[in-house]
Amino acid sequence: MSDADTDAGAPDGGGETDHHAFWADDVADEVEARDPTEPIVVKGGVSPSGIPHLGHFNEIMRGYYVAAVLRERGHEVRQVFTSDDRDALRKVPRTLADADWNLVGLGEVDAGALGRNLGVPYTDIPDPFDECDHHSYGEHFTALLAESADRIGVPVEMLSNTAMYEAGEFDDVVHHVLSDADHAREVLSAYQDGVDDSYVPFMAQCSACHKLTTDVRAVDLDARTVDYVCSGLEAGGQQIEGCGHEGTATFREGKLPWRFEWPAQWQVLGVDFEPFGKDHAEGSWPSGRDIAENVLGIEPPVPMTYEWFTLNGEPLSSSSGNVVTVDEVLELLEPEVLRYFFVRNPKKAKDFDVSRLDQLVDEFDRFERVYFGEVDDDTIDAFAERAYPFVVDDVRAERVRIPYTFAAVLGMTDDPELREQMARNEGHLTDDTPEWAVDAALARVEKARAWAERMDNEYNYRLQADLPETDFEAGMADALDALADFVEAGHAGEEIQGQMYELPEAYGVETGDFFNAGYRLFFDADSGPRLGEFLGELDQEFVVRRLRRDG
């Protein structure tokens, strides 16, 4: 997270106001200015094409903060997230996730079955994982998304587009669009090529092969049906062929094309606010707004465009497999740190660099200290004061945050008592720290340990609980004893590090061999962290015993 936001709270909602410290307040102002009926509806949505990754939470989290501000202001709010699961599978993803969040390649599932279902809605494709209870591909990945939102603590209501179509919730809007098809075509033609007099803004689902087809030949508005030929559909510049079946489908047995479906969702759900990525801002939003106003006759919701973020410097992509899931991230971070990542300025591009998670955690810890007045920073004071209570579940001044990299150091040992003693030696825990705060602070250790193991970085070492077998020459043994005396005298880590360069010459041993002996004693390895500094963080009595080979 090398792009730490000095303007993290810069207000930048859907409008031009610039008077709030927190961008969600600006958006809430715009929503309130419309005098909406309640409940106010905040929406997001995604097509469940593959692994629900962290990028999908841009919409969920942006919506969450606006919903939270509106609730604080006394409004009833409904935050919904549509799974656009009647969309067709357009290509087979390289990586999938099972119900336990294990990422698997196509070789571990029936890739052929997925390939045969190109053009079929996600809710009509079997779950690729046999051991799951989900009825379809779409339900599988929607369930994972809902589980992720729950783990972050976001009370979002997941809605299935397929279920809404099947329940007839889109019937009236489909009827309206098809009854005014000439005007709908005219509006759409300004945004999409190939819209001619034969274009019908509806996709029927073939009753024979279950694929969607754009080849609609006739519309019966009274019966609310369409006649179709299963000619398939275009996806990603390629044509997915249909089976040639001719049939009749009801409005509930198909779907609107995306440019009509999105504003149709606004009408059906009564959406008041929806955030979306810059791809929609440059594409679907202009047409959606036009269709909403001039075809459906409704006011579009308050919009907010957010910047995408990258993962380790590369675009997130379910299909290519460059993803990180919420489940993975929460093994490495507390939920509030992840919520903080999304509370920052949505207009600023960011990189979620897993190798530098320590920077994100440090930034969050500082944000928290600014809120409690422990650090003065006039660049984020107002932002922290306003936004922090929305980031954490419980505002408690007694909370302690052990620095992430030091938590990784503590993770080098599995001994909980030694971990706590080391944290006390460094002053992070005191006799006045409540027991609940001690437990919460030390809970970060396992997450930092998981990060060190995942990245195999300089913290990925294991402190040996028992004395390794060693056989040192007399000079080396004497040098180690002298270092034990130095540590016992109460010197700090930097001083110990310096002494480790002084002692070898005095005892006639090589400096490299001396450090190697220390690594053997503490890690049973040839290398490790900066040893002197590390020893300064350990329990002094333990270090002295180990240097004297007493246990």
- Residues 483-526 have pLDDT tens digits of 999 999 999 999 999 999 999 999 999 999 999 999 999 999 98
Amino acid symbol at 414: D
Backbone angles phi, psi at 103, to 5 degrees: -80, 130
Q: Hey, is 273 helix, strand or coil?
A: strand
* Paired residues of 254 in beta bridges: 204
Amino acid symbol at 40: I
Residue 308 has what pLDDT? 87
Q: How confident is the model at residue 18 (pLDDT cuts 50, 70, 90)?
A: low
Please tell me the distance from the alpha carbon of residue 120 to that of residue 374, in angstroms, as a whole number: 56
Contacts of 506 (CB under 8 A, 6+ apart): 479, 482
The position carrying tokens 């705060």 is: 437
Q: How confident is the model at residue 319 (pLDDT cuts 50, 70, 90)?
A: low
Q: What is the percent of the chain where pLDDT is above 70? A: 96
Torsion sign (Cα): 115, 116, 120, 125: negative
Please tell me the distance from the alpha carbon of residue 81 to that of residue 77, in angstroms, as a whole number: 13
Please tell me the distance from the alpha carbon of residue 118 to that of residue 131, in angstroms, as a whole number: 23
Please tell me the distance from the alpha carbon of residue 211 to that of residue 242, in angstroms, as a whole number: 7
Residues 208/242, Cβ–Cβ less than 8 Å = no
Return the biggest CA–CA distance within the chain. Answer: 100
Backbone angles phi, psi at 154, to 5 degrees: -110, 120
- Residues 178-201 have pLDDT tens digits of 999 999 999 999 999 989 999 999
- ω into 389 cis (within 30 of 0): no
Phi/psi zone of residue 210: left (φ > 0), alpha (ψ -120 to 50 degrees), beta?
left
Specify the pTM: 0.90
Residue 187 has what pLDDT? 97
Please tell me the distance from the alpha carbon of residue 6 to that of residue 25, in angstroms, as a whole number: 19
Please tell me the distance from the alpha carbon of residue 152 to that of residue 494, in angstroms, as a whole number: 39
- Residues 68-119 have pLDDT tens digits of 999 999 999 999 999 999 999 998 888 888 999 888 888 888 888 888 999 9
